[in-house]
Structure 1
Amino acid sequence: MPRSLHRLGLWAVLFGLAACSKNADSEEQPPAPAIGPALYRVTFEATWSADTHANFPAGAHFSSVIGASHRADGLLFRSGQPASTGIKNMAERGNNTALRTEIMALQSSGAAFRTLEGRVINSPGTVADTIRLDAAHPRLSLVTMIAPSPDWFVALEDETLLDADGQWVALRRVSARAYDAGTDSGPTFTAPDQATLPAGVVAPLLLPPTSGSAPDGPPLGTWLLERIK
């Protein structure tokens, strides 16, 4: 066989093997399927009580849970940064009016998608509602005032509900941790108003347990996130 034809034959074999290898790689790594919107049931299971934390006040309750599904730039608050007027009013008074307006502004800008707003609940107690997310807004943030308190609240902070494969998680439990809004310096649940001037920043709050020497007690509750559609 002439040498030129022999070389052409080798190139054809190598090209065929490369094509097969490329096809095999394509078959092994199919594109991730696109995801549609998801509907979640959000349950706040408040467990804060005299059995869990010291200095449990009379009439203990949580204000109406409020929050939104959002993008990474649609946060309601950031730990280490000053509270917005909406977060301040929610944390000090359980008043969601300004925060509701702030969420509407995030929706108008495209940073937030849907809003959730529940009802006041005693603690211990449970409240549930639903909220929709989509691929562009897969994060969820929720807040509720610890009442009575100077400016303390619990939150679900920027929880992403897409898993490592980019699919919606079926079920997740997240501890409801406490925060100080940094706007009132009252040291106890029932302390009179003591405006913090200048205002500080939102920061994690340590609430001592009923017994033991640990600086922080257990979570004040649990956020249960269940995909229902």
Structure 2
Amino acid sequence: MKKITLLLSLFLASIFATLQSQSIATYDIVFTSTWNASEHTNAMDMSLPGNAHWSKLVGVNHNSDVDFFEVGQMATLGVELIAENGTNDVFRDTDVQNAIDALDAQQYINGPSLSTAAGTITITGLEVNQDFPLLTLLSMVAPSPDWYIGLDGLNLLDASGNWKTSITIPMTFVYDAGTDSGSNYTSGNNDANLPISIFDMSNTIEPFNGNDIGFIEITLTNVLSVEDLNSIDAIKLFPNPSQGKVTITNTRDLETVEVYNILGRLVTRIQVQQNPTLELHLSHLSKGLYVVKMTDINTNTKTQKLILE
């Protein structure tokens, strides 16, 4: 009996430790392009194309059960279309959505494009759940036959399971999707009769001869624990006093909001859809003092006085 009790205690401790470790990290991502004619052209063509630019920086955060592109593997249609013409609809709606449906990915990442060869693309406030800590990003080298830069499943957690605070990844090569037979920036789209697997155009392959084409910086800006997310005390209601429009934040685990008048009569009841923010529209109520009762999915409650003026 003592052995069973000990095993149960160890099991519960393990579960508690796992729950304690869960968190959501917020990151800012900056891709800095240094694409230029002196380092990224060949002897036959010493200039970049006049419309040199980058397609939207898109991607997904996911777990280790799925991979979106990999050297030595065939490109998906979604990756092919990004690499060949910079369109991301299939990647978003098929590659990423299938992974989300299979519970292997959290979200599609939709960053901006860059209209020039050199410059920066910035993604701010990306929230990453600890269940999906791997980061995949892609952007087309445009124009090009089927070339792109990217990150392939970069782990945002360190060996101890903590969020990495700062990461800088040099883009020392670009990827070739293996789906187009063109050999220079302005080659026409000539789909390869026999597509080959993805490879990196490093060192000996022109026009990319080992010179960095840019770098990606990833910076941790905030970490929010599950305890913060689930705490009924973290819920905030404002403004107060209010003229009728009231915002409630940190409502992910909130189930119901009830508003009572000074006589204790229920005047409004809202079933919450477990979104991070909730707006109450109470302008139809008379001016005066009310009590707002908030109940979460674990039946924890919080009450707060509200003045309508």
Q: Which TM-score band applies after superposition, normalised by the shorter structure?
A: 0.7 to 0.9
* 2:152 equivalent to 1:126: no
Please identify which structure carries the higher helix content.
1
Question: Are 1:171 and 1:224, in contact at CA under 8 Å, matched by a contact in 2?
Answer: yes
* 2:23 equivalent to 1:43: no
**Shift of residue 109, structure 1, vs aligned partner:** 0.9
Residue 143 of structure 1 corresponds to 138
Distance 2:59 2:213 in 1: 18
SS in 2 for 1:183: coil
Please identify which structure carries the higher strand content.
2
* 2:71 equivalent to 1:76: no
**Shift of residue 164, structure 1, vs aligned partner:** 1.7
Residue 247 of structure 2 corresponds to none
SS in 2 for 1:37: strand
Question: Are 1:43 and 1:224, in contact at CA under 8 Å, matched by a contact in 2?
Answer: yes
Question: Are 2:139 and 2:149, in contact at CA under 8 Å, matched by a contact in 1?
Answer: yes
Alignment TM-score, normalising by the size of structure 2:
0.60
* 2:211 equivalent to 1:218: yes
Question: Are 2:52 and 2:142, in contact at CA under 8 Å, matched by a contact in 1?
Answer: yes
Which residues in structure 2 correspond to 1:95-110 (within 5 Å)? 95-101=87-93, 102-110=95-103
Question: Are 1:46 and 1:126, in contact at CA under 8 Å, matched by a contact in 2?
Answer: yes
Question: Are 1:149 and 1:188, in contact at CA under 8 Å, matched by a contact in 2?
Answer: yes
* 2:150 equivalent to 1:155: yes
Counterpart of 2:49, as a letter, is: P
Provide the identity percentage. 29
Residue 260 of structure 2 corresponds to none
Q: Deviations along 1:107-148, whole A, 9 cap, x unmatched? A: 111111122111220220101113221221111000010001
SS in 1 for 2:23: coil
SS in 2 for 1:157: strand
Distance 1:209 1:47 in 2: 18
**Shift of residue 37, structure 1, vs aligned partner:** 0.9
Question: Are 2:84 and 2:189, in contact at CA under 8 Å, matched by a contact in 1?
Answer: no
Unaligned runs of at least 5 residues, structure 2? 1-16, 223-309
* 2:112 equivalent to 1:116: no
Aligned length: 196
Question: Are 2:140 and 2:149, in contact at CA under 8 Å, matched by a contact in 1?
Answer: yes
Unaligned runs of at least 5 residues, structure 1? 1-30
CA distance 1:169–1:158, change in 2 (3 Å): same
Q: Deviations along 1:58-91, whole A, 9 cap, x unmatched? A: 2211100110111012322111111000001110
Distance 2:131 2:211 in 1: 34
Distance 1:57 1:100 in 2: 28
Residue 14 of structure 1 corresponds to none
Question: Are 2:175 and 2:200, in contact at CA under 8 Å, matched by a contact in 1?
Answer: yes
Q: 159, 167, 170: which one pairs with 1:164?
A: 159
Residue 92 of structure 1 corresponds to 84
Distance 1:115 1:195 in 2: 27
Alignment TM-score, normalising by the size of structure 1:
0.80
Distance 2:203 2:92 in 1: 28
SS in 2 for 1:129: strand
4+ residue segments displaced more than 3 Å? 206-211
Distance 2:141 2:160 in 1: 36
